[in-house]
Copies of this chain bind each other. A is one copy, B any other.
Amino acid sequence: MTSRTTVDQHAAHIAALLAPALAARATELVPLENALGRVVADDVPSPVDLPFFRNSQMDGFAVRAADVATVPVALEVSGDIPAGHTIPVVLISGTAIRIMTGAPVPEGADAIVPVEDTELILGRDDDLTGAVVEIKRSRLPGEYVRERGSDLRQGEVIVPAATRLGPRHLAALAAAGVAQVTVREPVRVGILTTGSELVRDDRPAEFGQIFDANGIALAALVEQAGASVSYRGTSDDDPAAFRKVLDAAVAASDLVLTSGGISKGAFEVVRDVLEPLGAEVTTIAMQPGGPQATAVVHDVPVVCFPGNPVSTQVSFTVFVRGLLLQAAGLPAAVTAQAALAAPIHSIAGKRQFLRGRLTEPSLVEQVSGPSSHLVAGMARADVLIDVPADAVDLTAGTDVTVWTL
Protein backbone atom coordinates (compact mmCIF):
# COMPACT_ATOMS: atom_id res chain seq x y z
CA MET A 1 0.00 0.00 0.00
CA THR A 2 1.11 3.53 -0.62
CA SER A 3 0.12 6.76 1.00
CA ARG A 4 -1.66 8.08 -2.08
CA THR A 5 -5.33 8.53 -1.34
CA THR A 6 -6.64 11.40 -3.48
CA VAL A 7 -7.52 11.43 -7.17
CA ASP A 8 -5.04 14.23 -7.82
CA GLN A 9 -2.20 12.36 -6.09
CA HIS A 10 -2.86 9.21 -8.07
CA ALA A 11 -3.23 11.15 -11.33
CA ALA A 12 0.14 12.81 -10.75
CA HIS A 13 1.72 9.44 -9.95
CA ILE A 14 0.40 7.92 -13.19
CA ALA A 15 1.49 10.95 -15.23
CA ALA A 16 5.03 10.57 -13.90
CA LEU A 17 4.98 6.80 -14.42
CA LEU A 18 3.87 7.10 -18.05
CA ALA A 19 5.93 10.13 -19.07
CA PRO A 20 9.01 8.23 -20.34
CA ALA A 21 6.95 5.77 -22.40
CA LEU A 22 4.82 8.52 -23.92
CA ALA A 23 7.86 10.65 -24.79
CA ALA A 24 10.05 7.91 -26.27
CA ARG A 25 7.88 6.80 -29.12
CA ALA A 26 9.33 5.78 -32.47
CA THR A 27 8.59 7.61 -35.69
CA GLU A 28 7.57 6.30 -39.07
CA LEU A 29 7.42 7.65 -42.61
CA VAL A 30 3.89 7.59 -44.07
CA PRO A 31 2.50 8.69 -47.43
CA LEU A 32 0.53 11.92 -47.22
CA GLU A 33 -2.62 9.99 -48.17
CA ASN A 34 -2.44 8.12 -44.86
CA ALA A 35 -1.34 11.00 -42.68
CA LEU A 36 -4.65 12.59 -41.69
CA GLY A 37 -4.76 12.91 -37.91
CA ARG A 38 -1.12 11.85 -37.44
CA VAL A 39 1.34 14.02 -35.51
CA VAL A 40 4.45 15.15 -37.38
CA ALA A 41 7.67 14.33 -35.58
CA ASP A 42 9.74 17.27 -36.86
CA ASP A 43 9.36 20.61 -38.61
CA VAL A 44 8.60 19.99 -42.29
CA PRO A 45 10.44 22.55 -44.45
CA SER A 46 9.21 23.35 -47.93
CA PRO A 47 11.42 21.89 -50.69
CA VAL A 48 10.26 24.65 -53.05
CA ASP A 49 9.01 28.21 -53.24
CA LEU A 50 5.23 28.42 -53.09
CA PRO A 51 3.96 29.33 -55.64
CA PHE A 52 6.64 27.58 -57.73
CA PHE A 53 6.38 30.22 -60.43
CA ARG A 54 4.95 33.70 -60.90
CA ASN A 55 1.34 33.16 -61.95
CA SER A 56 -1.90 34.93 -62.70
CA GLN A 57 -4.53 35.50 -60.07
CA MET A 58 -7.26 36.09 -62.66
CA ASP A 59 -8.48 35.01 -66.05
CA GLY A 60 -7.60 37.98 -68.28
CA PHE A 61 -4.70 39.51 -70.18
CA ALA A 62 -1.07 39.81 -69.15
CA VAL A 63 0.30 43.26 -69.99
CA ARG A 64 2.97 45.77 -69.10
CA ALA A 65 1.29 48.17 -66.69
CA ALA A 66 2.94 51.04 -68.56
CA ASP A 67 1.14 49.98 -71.76
CA VAL A 68 -2.28 50.32 -70.10
CA ALA A 69 -1.61 53.49 -68.11
CA THR A 70 -4.01 55.34 -70.41
CA VAL A 71 -7.31 53.62 -71.17
CA PRO A 72 -9.11 52.60 -73.21
CA VAL A 73 -6.27 51.22 -75.26
CA ALA A 74 -6.24 48.55 -77.98
CA LEU A 75 -3.41 45.96 -77.85
CA GLU A 76 -2.56 43.21 -80.27
CA VAL A 77 -3.02 39.76 -78.70
CA SER A 78 0.38 38.15 -79.15
CA GLY A 79 -0.20 34.89 -77.33
CA ASP A 80 -2.43 32.67 -75.24
CA ILE A 81 -1.38 30.93 -72.02
CA PRO A 82 -3.84 28.40 -70.71
CA ALA A 83 -3.37 26.83 -67.28
CA GLY A 84 -0.86 24.02 -67.54
CA HIS A 85 1.15 25.70 -70.31
CA THR A 86 4.69 24.53 -69.66
CA ILE A 87 6.70 26.61 -72.12
CA PRO A 88 8.01 29.96 -70.86
CA VAL A 89 6.64 32.88 -72.88
CA VAL A 90 7.92 36.43 -73.34
CA LEU A 91 5.56 39.40 -73.74
CA ILE A 92 6.35 41.67 -76.63
CA SER A 93 6.10 45.24 -75.43
CA GLY A 94 2.87 46.92 -76.55
CA THR A 95 0.95 43.66 -76.85
CA ALA A 96 -1.21 41.56 -74.51
CA ILE A 97 -1.22 37.81 -73.87
CA ARG A 98 -4.40 36.05 -72.83
CA ILE A 99 -3.83 34.15 -69.58
CA MET A 100 -5.85 31.89 -67.29
CA THR A 101 -5.84 31.85 -63.50
CA GLY A 102 -2.80 30.01 -62.21
CA ALA A 103 -0.93 30.10 -65.52
CA PRO A 104 2.67 31.42 -65.59
CA VAL A 105 2.89 35.17 -66.17
CA PRO A 106 5.02 35.82 -69.26
CA GLU A 107 8.40 37.44 -68.85
CA GLY A 108 8.04 41.16 -69.49
CA ALA A 109 4.46 41.35 -68.17
CA ASP A 110 3.95 42.93 -64.75
CA ALA A 111 0.15 43.13 -64.42
CA ILE A 112 -2.98 41.15 -65.25
CA VAL A 113 -6.11 42.90 -66.51
CA PRO A 114 -9.13 40.77 -65.54
CA VAL A 115 -11.23 39.61 -68.49
CA GLU A 116 -14.24 41.65 -67.31
CA ASP A 117 -12.26 44.86 -67.93
CA THR A 118 -11.46 43.83 -71.52
CA GLU A 119 -13.20 43.30 -74.86
CA LEU A 120 -11.99 41.48 -77.96
CA ILE A 121 -12.44 43.98 -80.82
CA LEU A 122 -10.84 41.68 -83.39
CA GLY A 123 -10.72 37.88 -83.32
CA ARG A 124 -12.77 35.35 -81.36
CA ASP A 125 -12.44 33.60 -77.99
CA ASP A 126 -11.72 30.33 -79.76
CA ASP A 127 -9.40 31.83 -82.41
CA LEU A 128 -7.01 34.58 -81.33
CA THR A 129 -5.15 34.73 -84.66
CA GLY A 130 -4.69 38.43 -85.41
CA ALA A 131 -6.88 39.37 -82.43
CA VAL A 132 -6.93 42.78 -80.79
CA VAL A 133 -8.15 43.41 -77.24
CA GLU A 134 -9.41 46.67 -75.83
CA ILE A 135 -8.22 47.28 -72.27
CA LYS A 136 -10.75 49.41 -70.37
CA ARG A 137 -9.06 49.77 -67.01
CA SER A 138 -5.48 50.50 -65.96
CA ARG A 139 -3.62 48.25 -63.55
CA LEU A 140 -0.56 49.01 -61.43
CA PRO A 141 2.60 46.90 -61.67
CA GLY A 142 2.05 43.73 -59.64
CA GLU A 143 -1.73 43.75 -59.71
CA TYR A 144 -3.20 40.24 -59.94
CA VAL A 145 0.28 38.76 -60.18
CA ARG A 146 1.16 36.11 -57.62
CA GLU A 147 4.89 36.32 -57.10
CA ARG A 148 6.98 33.18 -56.77
CA GLY A 149 7.48 32.38 -53.07
CA SER A 150 4.83 34.86 -51.94
CA ASP A 151 3.08 32.13 -49.91
CA LEU A 152 6.18 30.37 -48.57
CA ARG A 153 9.90 30.38 -49.40
CA GLN A 154 11.89 27.22 -49.98
CA GLY A 155 13.21 26.03 -46.62
CA GLU A 156 10.52 27.74 -44.58
CA VAL A 157 8.47 25.48 -42.34
CA ILE A 158 5.14 24.28 -43.78
CA VAL A 159 4.03 22.53 -40.60
CA PRO A 160 5.94 22.69 -37.34
CA ALA A 161 6.85 19.62 -35.28
CA ALA A 162 4.03 18.20 -33.13
CA THR A 163 1.29 19.42 -35.48
CA ARG A 164 -1.63 17.04 -35.76
CA LEU A 165 -2.21 16.93 -39.51
CA GLY A 166 -5.58 18.24 -40.62
CA PRO A 167 -6.88 18.72 -44.17
CA ARG A 168 -5.32 22.19 -44.49
CA HIS A 169 -1.87 20.88 -43.53
CA LEU A 170 -2.12 18.03 -46.02
CA ALA A 171 -3.14 20.52 -48.71
CA ALA A 172 -0.10 22.71 -48.06
CA LEU A 173 2.27 19.72 -47.97
CA ALA A 174 0.78 18.36 -51.19
CA ALA A 175 1.05 21.76 -52.84
CA ALA A 176 4.75 21.81 -52.02
CA GLY A 177 5.23 18.36 -53.51
CA VAL A 178 5.87 16.67 -50.16
CA ALA A 179 4.72 13.08 -50.72
CA GLN A 180 5.47 11.55 -47.30
CA VAL A 181 5.99 12.78 -43.77
CA THR A 182 7.65 11.48 -40.63
CA VAL A 183 5.05 11.07 -37.92
CA ARG A 184 5.09 9.78 -34.38
CA GLU A 185 3.92 6.25 -33.89
CA PRO A 186 0.83 6.11 -31.73
CA VAL A 187 1.24 4.92 -28.15
CA ARG A 188 0.81 1.13 -28.17
CA VAL A 189 -1.56 0.13 -25.42
CA GLY A 190 -2.13 -3.45 -24.26
CA ILE A 191 -5.47 -4.24 -22.64
CA LEU A 192 -6.11 -7.07 -20.21
CA THR A 193 -9.44 -7.89 -18.63
CA THR A 194 -9.73 -10.44 -15.87
CA GLY A 195 -12.30 -12.46 -14.03
CA SER A 196 -13.49 -16.07 -13.93
CA GLU A 197 -17.03 -14.78 -14.41
CA LEU A 198 -16.31 -13.54 -17.94
CA VAL A 199 -17.77 -15.46 -20.86
CA ARG A 200 -15.07 -16.66 -23.29
CA ASP A 201 -14.92 -17.48 -26.95
CA ASP A 202 -18.30 -16.08 -28.02
CA ARG A 203 -20.22 -18.67 -26.02
CA PRO A 204 -23.60 -17.82 -24.50
CA ALA A 205 -23.54 -16.71 -20.86
CA GLU A 206 -24.26 -19.38 -18.29
CA PHE A 207 -25.88 -18.56 -14.96
CA GLY A 208 -23.29 -16.63 -12.94
CA GLN A 209 -21.34 -15.46 -15.99
CA ILE A 210 -21.23 -12.04 -17.61
CA PHE A 211 -20.02 -10.72 -20.95
CA ASP A 212 -16.78 -8.75 -21.01
CA ALA A 213 -17.76 -5.10 -21.34
CA ASN A 214 -14.37 -3.76 -20.27
CA GLY A 215 -12.22 -5.07 -23.09
CA ILE A 216 -14.21 -3.34 -25.79
CA ALA A 217 -14.70 -0.21 -23.69
CA LEU A 218 -10.98 0.19 -23.00
CA ALA A 219 -10.09 -0.55 -26.63
CA ALA A 220 -12.53 2.10 -27.83
CA LEU A 221 -11.37 4.62 -25.21
CA VAL A 222 -7.74 4.04 -26.21
CA GLU A 223 -8.50 4.50 -29.91
CA GLN A 224 -10.57 7.58 -29.24
CA ALA A 225 -7.63 9.05 -27.34
CA GLY A 226 -5.40 8.66 -30.39
CA ALA A 227 -3.44 5.61 -29.23
CA SER A 228 -3.45 2.14 -30.76
CA VAL A 229 -4.46 -1.16 -29.21
CA SER A 230 -1.41 -3.40 -29.44
CA TYR A 231 -2.74 -6.41 -27.55
CA ARG A 232 -6.00 -7.59 -26.05
CA GLY A 233 -6.23 -10.46 -23.65
CA THR A 234 -8.52 -11.91 -21.04
CA SER A 235 -7.79 -14.24 -18.18
CA ASP A 236 -9.74 -15.95 -15.46
CA ASP A 237 -8.64 -15.69 -11.83
CA ASP A 238 -5.81 -18.18 -12.23
CA PRO A 239 -2.46 -16.40 -11.70
CA ALA A 240 -0.68 -18.50 -14.34
CA ALA A 241 -3.28 -17.57 -16.93
CA PHE A 242 -2.99 -13.86 -16.09
CA ARG A 243 0.81 -14.00 -16.11
CA LYS A 244 0.70 -15.44 -19.60
CA VAL A 245 -1.40 -12.64 -21.12
CA LEU A 246 0.49 -10.05 -19.06
CA ASP A 247 3.80 -11.11 -20.57
CA ALA A 248 2.34 -11.02 -24.07
CA ALA A 249 0.84 -7.58 -23.48
CA VAL A 250 4.04 -6.14 -22.03
CA ALA A 251 6.08 -7.44 -24.97
CA ALA A 252 3.80 -5.67 -27.46
CA SER A 253 3.09 -2.40 -25.68
CA ASP A 254 4.31 0.96 -24.41
CA LEU A 255 1.65 0.82 -21.70
CA VAL A 256 -0.62 -1.91 -20.35
CA LEU A 257 -4.05 -1.36 -18.82
CA THR A 258 -5.80 -4.02 -16.75
CA SER A 259 -9.27 -4.25 -15.28
CA GLY A 260 -10.37 -6.28 -12.29
CA GLY A 261 -8.54 -8.31 -9.66
CA ILE A 262 -7.11 -5.58 -7.45
CA SER A 263 -9.46 -5.23 -4.50
CA LYS A 264 -9.72 -7.17 -1.26
CA GLY A 265 -11.45 -10.41 -2.24
CA ALA A 266 -10.01 -13.88 -1.87
CA PHE A 267 -9.19 -14.20 -5.59
CA GLU A 268 -7.50 -11.00 -6.79
CA VAL A 269 -5.46 -12.22 -9.69
CA VAL A 270 -3.91 -8.94 -10.84
CA ARG A 271 -2.89 -8.07 -7.32
CA ASP A 272 -1.61 -11.56 -6.59
CA VAL A 273 0.62 -11.54 -9.67
CA LEU A 274 1.78 -7.93 -9.62
CA GLU A 275 2.39 -7.31 -5.92
CA PRO A 276 5.40 -9.67 -5.85
CA LEU A 277 6.71 -7.67 -8.83
CA GLY A 278 6.54 -4.45 -6.84
CA ALA A 279 3.06 -3.19 -7.76
CA GLU A 280 1.72 -0.31 -5.72
CA VAL A 281 -1.85 -1.08 -4.75
CA THR A 282 -3.86 1.64 -3.14
CA THR A 283 -7.36 2.78 -2.33
CA ILE A 284 -8.25 6.18 -3.71
CA ALA A 285 -10.99 8.21 -2.04
CA MET A 286 -13.19 8.17 -5.13
CA GLN A 287 -16.34 6.48 -6.29
CA PRO A 288 -16.56 4.60 -8.53
CA GLY A 289 -13.01 3.36 -8.79
CA GLY A 290 -11.58 3.14 -5.26
CA PRO A 291 -9.11 0.27 -5.72
CA GLN A 292 -6.27 1.33 -8.04
CA ALA A 293 -2.80 -0.03 -8.72
CA THR A 294 0.26 0.55 -10.83
CA ALA A 295 3.27 -1.57 -11.63
CA VAL A 296 6.24 -1.66 -13.96
CA VAL A 297 6.92 -4.97 -15.71
CA HIS A 298 10.03 -5.26 -17.89
CA ASP A 299 10.17 -1.43 -17.96
CA VAL A 300 6.59 -1.18 -19.25
CA PRO A 301 4.16 0.74 -17.04
CA VAL A 302 1.03 -1.18 -16.07
CA VAL A 303 -2.01 0.75 -14.84
CA CYS A 304 -4.65 -1.36 -13.09
CA PHE A 305 -8.30 -0.39 -12.76
CA PRO A 306 -11.05 -2.07 -10.76
CA GLY A 307 -13.28 -4.41 -12.74
CA ASN A 308 -16.77 -3.03 -12.42
CA PRO A 309 -17.52 -1.62 -15.88
CA VAL A 310 -18.32 1.89 -14.76
CA SER A 311 -15.24 1.91 -12.51
CA THR A 312 -13.04 0.90 -15.42
CA GLN A 313 -14.38 3.59 -17.74
CA VAL A 314 -14.28 6.32 -15.09
CA SER A 315 -10.75 5.36 -14.03
CA PHE A 316 -9.49 5.56 -17.61
CA THR A 317 -11.21 8.89 -18.13
CA VAL A 318 -9.82 10.42 -14.97
CA PHE A 319 -6.29 8.98 -14.94
CA VAL A 320 -5.17 8.06 -18.48
CA ARG A 321 -7.28 9.74 -21.18
CA GLY A 322 -5.71 13.18 -20.88
CA LEU A 323 -2.17 11.78 -21.04
CA LEU A 324 -2.91 9.81 -24.22
CA LEU A 325 -4.70 12.74 -25.87
CA GLN A 326 -1.75 14.97 -25.15
CA ALA A 327 0.69 12.38 -26.51
CA ALA A 328 -1.39 12.15 -29.70
CA GLY A 329 -1.49 15.91 -30.18
CA LEU A 330 -5.25 15.84 -29.79
CA PRO A 331 -7.19 18.58 -28.04
CA ALA A 332 -7.26 18.06 -24.29
CA ALA A 333 -10.32 16.35 -22.87
CA VAL A 334 -12.89 18.90 -21.95
CA THR A 335 -14.02 19.78 -18.49
CA ALA A 336 -16.57 22.53 -18.01
CA GLN A 337 -18.68 24.12 -15.32
CA ALA A 338 -22.39 23.37 -15.13
CA ALA A 339 -25.17 23.96 -12.65
CA LEU A 340 -27.03 21.03 -11.09
CA ALA A 341 -30.62 20.72 -12.38
CA ALA A 342 -31.65 18.92 -9.17
CA PRO A 343 -30.17 18.29 -5.72
CA ILE A 344 -27.54 15.55 -5.39
CA HIS A 345 -26.62 13.55 -2.34
CA SER A 346 -23.01 12.40 -2.16
CA ILE A 347 -20.81 10.46 0.26
CA ALA A 348 -18.55 12.38 2.63
CA GLY A 349 -14.85 11.72 2.15
CA LYS A 350 -15.07 10.34 -1.38
CA ARG A 351 -14.81 12.27 -4.64
CA GLN A 352 -17.77 11.09 -6.71
CA PHE A 353 -17.92 10.85 -10.47
CA LEU A 354 -21.64 10.61 -11.07
CA ARG A 355 -23.13 9.91 -14.48
CA GLY A 356 -24.80 13.03 -15.85
CA ARG A 357 -26.33 14.51 -18.92
CA LEU A 358 -26.27 18.13 -20.05
CA THR A 359 -29.83 19.27 -20.58
CA GLU A 360 -28.67 22.70 -21.62
CA PRO A 361 -25.12 23.84 -22.33
CA SER A 362 -24.55 24.61 -18.67
CA LEU A 363 -27.21 22.62 -16.81
CA VAL A 364 -26.55 19.03 -15.80
CA GLU A 365 -28.81 16.30 -14.43
CA GLN A 366 -27.81 13.00 -12.89
CA VAL A 367 -28.70 9.89 -14.90
CA SER A 368 -28.65 6.41 -13.36
CA GLY A 369 -27.52 5.67 -9.83
CA PRO A 370 -24.01 5.91 -8.43
CA SER A 371 -23.31 2.15 -8.45
CA SER A 372 -20.38 0.97 -10.50
CA HIS A 373 -22.21 -1.93 -12.17
CA LEU A 374 -24.73 0.32 -13.99
CA VAL A 375 -23.19 -0.07 -17.42
CA ALA A 376 -26.39 0.81 -19.30
CA GLY A 377 -26.80 3.86 -17.08
CA MET A 378 -23.29 4.91 -18.10
CA ALA A 379 -24.34 4.66 -21.76
CA ARG A 380 -27.08 7.23 -21.12
CA ALA A 381 -24.60 9.75 -19.71
CA ASP A 382 -22.65 12.31 -21.70
CA VAL A 383 -20.64 13.74 -18.82
CA LEU A 384 -19.26 12.76 -15.43
CA ILE A 385 -20.35 15.05 -12.62
CA ASP A 386 -17.29 15.65 -10.44
CA VAL A 387 -18.51 15.99 -6.85
CA PRO A 388 -15.77 17.09 -4.43
CA ALA A 389 -14.85 14.76 -1.59
CA ASP A 390 -16.12 17.14 1.09
CA ALA A 391 -19.56 17.68 -0.52
CA VAL A 392 -22.53 15.79 0.90
CA ASP A 393 -25.73 17.56 -0.01
CA LEU A 394 -25.61 19.75 -3.11
CA THR A 395 -28.63 21.91 -3.83
CA ALA A 396 -30.10 22.51 -7.27
CA GLY A 397 -28.16 25.27 -9.01
CA THR A 398 -24.82 24.38 -7.41
CA ASP A 399 -21.91 24.82 -9.82
CA VAL A 400 -20.01 21.60 -10.49
CA THR A 401 -17.22 20.49 -12.81
CA VAL A 402 -18.29 18.06 -15.53
CA TRP A 403 -16.00 15.82 -17.60
CA THR A 404 -17.09 15.32 -21.20
CA LEU A 405 -17.30 11.64 -22.16
Contacts and interface: CB of A to CB of B under 8 A. Distances in A.
B379 A169 contact: yes
Given A52-B210, A177-B205, A224-B166, A196 B373 contact: no
Contact of A168 (B177, B206, B217): B217
Contacts of A361: none
A253 interface: no
Given A36-B223, A177-B205, A379 B84 contact: no
Nearest to A89: B208
B36 A267 contact: no
Interface in A116-170: 116, 125-126, 146, 150-152, 156, 158-159, 166-170
Contacts of A196: 82-84
Given A168-B381, A171-B214, A375 B151 contact: yes
Question: Which of A158, A172, A204, A309 has its CB near the most chain B CB atoms (within 10 A)?
Answer: A172
Interface in A202-216: 202, 204-216
Contact of A172 (B83, B177, B375): B375
A176 interface: yes
A377 interface: yes
A276 interface: no
Number of copies: 2
A285 to B, nearest CB: 15
Interface string A178-202: 0100000000000000011110001
A86 B266 CA distance: 18
B195 A83 contact: yes
Given A103-B197, A195-B84, A208 B159 contact: no
Interface stretch (A2-10, A69-77, A94-102): A94-102
A41 to B, nearest CB: 17
Nearest to A177: B211
Interface in A57-113: 57, 59, 82-88, 98, 100-104
A57 B376 contact: no
Contacts of A53: 207-208
A152 B374 CA distance: 8
Contacts of A85: 208
Determine the main DSSP class of A at the interface with B. Answer: loop
Interface residues of A, number: 95
A84 B209 contact: yes
A198 B103 CA distance: 11
A221 interface: yes
Contact of A179 (B197, B202, B223): B202
A33 interface: yes
A242 to B, nearest CB: 14
A405 B208 contact: no
A342 interface: no
A210 B167 CA distance: 18
A326 interface: no
A275 interface: no
Contacts of A221: 167
Nearest to A266: B125
Contacts of A84: 195-198, 208-209, 236-237
Interface in A297-346: 307-309, 313
Question: Which 3 A-B residue pairs are closest in the complex by CB-CB distance?
Answer: A84-B196, A59-B265, A167-B220
21 contacts: A33-B219, A53-B207, A82-B266, A83-B237, A84-B198, A84-B237, A86-B206, A100-B265, A101-B265, A102-B210, A102-B373, A103-B197, A116-B264, A152-B376, A167-B218, A167-B221, A168-B217, A168-B405, A171-B378, A171-B379, A177-B211
